[in-house]
Amino acid sequence: MPIIQFPKGLKWGTATAAYQVEGAVSEDGRGLSIWDTFSHTPGKVKNGDNGDIACDSYHRYAEDVDLLHQLGVNVYRFSVSWSRIYPNGKGELNPKGVNYYHNLIDKLLEKGIEPMLTLYHWDLPQALQDDGGWANRETIDAFILYAKTVFNEFNGKVKYWQTINEPLCAAFLSNYQGVHAPGFQDLQLAVDISHHLLLAHGRTVRLFRDMRVEGEIGTATNTTWREPFSIKAEDMEACKREIGLNIDWFLDPIIKGEYPGYMVEWFKKKGAELPIKEGDLEAIHQPIDFIGVNYYSGNIARYKKDAGLLDIENIEIDYDKTYIEWPIYADGLYKVFHYLAERYGDIPLFVTENGACCIDQLSEGRVNDQDRIKYYQQHLTAVSRAIESGINITGYLAWSLLDNFEWAEGYGKRFGLVYVDFHTMERIKKDSYYWYKKVIANGWMEI
């Protein structure tokens, strides 16, 4: 059996997000978020699922940290619920909310696990949405107040920070496709919000530097790969647009100080223009310490007139797919790494999400998820190939520690290394948990 070796200094961990695991949505002063509103709106989430209880991690965080400790990780990525800290998004601070995250972080540090804190993982306080949400530039000011509070509270304890998780989803799935909260379907709105999210990111990084907060700050970027069906220019351009919307649209302004011209023109053709004001690009263009890479899937694709936002169609050849219907395309992750390095230079890349949704059958207290193990083997091989090729990859976080609330898909789509019985909240380690534990302990894997 071939052995794939990983560098000794590679960080290993898992990731979750507040609304997907915490529950306790009305406890200890937490205010409503847009995902509370959205998930309680009939027809928005499969099976009418919502995050009211989720994995009950608000009450079971010590148990979750024990699972992390037994797994042997050295990093745990979680997000802070903005509306636990500021129930109305701004104004009165909620000390019980702050205290919850001190307890979680202290428990992690006690077990020798580095917290990676995501400031925004899609759960905008509903009170701010009522004032226009991310479409309103004043929401950026509220975010800066919230970020300043979090920096002040956890500086010195937290060493890894991420600003906004997957701005593509927060802008376009939420305001163009309408499949995520708050559920609008307006391209100009989505483009405006993508710009405001980048402004919030840039001003937060500036604040982080001005406050001399300890540690490193970075992004959490959606990434994907599209291999052109042919070398025809129209096919190659279509694939560039899909990759470009995920990566270039969000990372070019941060790292290059400008939007990708070909995408600006594309959106203009579709009737949407960027709301750039004097000084915006300078505010966004702040040096970051790492690019957070979130990767799940890729495909072969070709140009198709008027197909979706980008005039592109996937060629559904018989790739194996995960249970959420995403093709398994590990070579795409390898291509993404090289794309990022060629476009942005040697900025450290930290895989902050990668994982598989599988049909997890619990039988006699065991989940034999060989399909998930195979997915991880394939994608960790891509990580090793890239490192061997000289790409600066510093960490890898599996999505996710726990089965959790997978947004509009609800609880039926399980990504966890740990199975959660959502009736009893019992946590049951899957076979992939034991496999990942061994990879972390050994620093190598068999394929």
Ligand X SMILES: CCOCCOc1ccc(-c2cn(C[C@@H]3NC[C@@H](O)[C@H]3O)nn2)cc1
Catalytic hit among 153, 166, 242, 409: 166
Site for ligand X in 328-367 (CB under 6 A): 353
User: Does 406 carry a binding-site annotation?
Assistant: yes
What are the residues whose beta carbons fall under 8 Å from the beta carbon of 73, sequence distance 6 or more? 12, 13, 14, 113, 440
Q: What's the N-to-C CA distance of the chain in angstroms? A: 6
Which stretches within 41-110 are classed as H helix?
Answer: 57-71, 82-85, 95-110
Measured from the Cβ of residue 271, the count of other Cβ atoms closer than 10 Å reads: 9
User: Does 368 carry a binding-site annotation?
Assistant: no
One-letter identity of residue 382: A
Of 89-97, 164-172, 193-201, 383-391, which part binds ligand X (CB under 6 A)?
A: 164-172
Q: Is 364 a catalytic residue?
A: no
Least spacing, CB of residue 117 vs ligand X, in Å: 15
Buried b / exposed e along 349-370 (16+ C-beta atoms within 10 A): bbbbbbbbbbebeeeeeebebe
CB-wise, 224 or 384, nearer to ligand X?
224
For the chain, count helices (H), then strands (E).
Answer: 16, 15
Least spacing, CB of residue 389 vs ligand X, in Å: 25
Instruction: Check binding of 192 to ligand X (CB under 6 A).
Output: no
- C-beta separation of 40 from 188 below 8 A: no
Answer for which of 64, 114, 153, 166 binds ligand X (CB under 6 A) is: 166
Answer for which of 37, 118, 222, 299 binds ligand X (CB under 6 A) is: 222
Instruction: Check binding of 403 to ligand X (CB under 6 A).
Output: no
Instruction: Check binding of 396 to ligand X (CB under 6 A).
Output: no
One-letter identity of residue 286: Q
Q: Is 353 a catalytic residue?
A: yes
The pattern of x and - marking residues 6 through 45 that bind ligand X according to CB under 6 A reads -----------x--x-------------------------
Phi, psi of 350 (to 5 degrees): -125, 115
Picking from 91, 108, 121, 93, the residue whose alpha carbon sits closest to that of residue 158 is 108
Of 42-50, 93-101, 168-176, 253-261, which part binds ligand X (CB under 6 A)?
A: 168-176
Instruction: Check binding of 296 to ligand X (CB under 6 A).
Output: yes
For residue 269, the Cα-to-chain-centroid distance in whole angstroms is: 29
Catalytic hit among 114, 242, 353, 409: 353
- Rounded CA-CA distance 405/413 in Å is 8
Answer for which of 82, 160, 161, 172 binds ligand X (CB under 6 A) is: 172
Residue nearest to ligand X (CB): 172
Answer for which of 193, 406, 416, 417 binds ligand X (CB under 6 A) is: 406
- C-beta separation of 116 from 13 below 8 A: yes
Instruction: Check binding of 309 to ligand X (CB under 6 A).
Output: yes
| Enzyme catalytic residues | 166, 353
Residues in the site for ligand X, rule: CB under 6 A?
A: 17, 20, 165-166, 169, 172-173, 222, 245, 294, 296, 309, 353, 399, 406-407
Annotated binding-site ranges for substrate: 20, 121, 165, 296, 399, 406-407
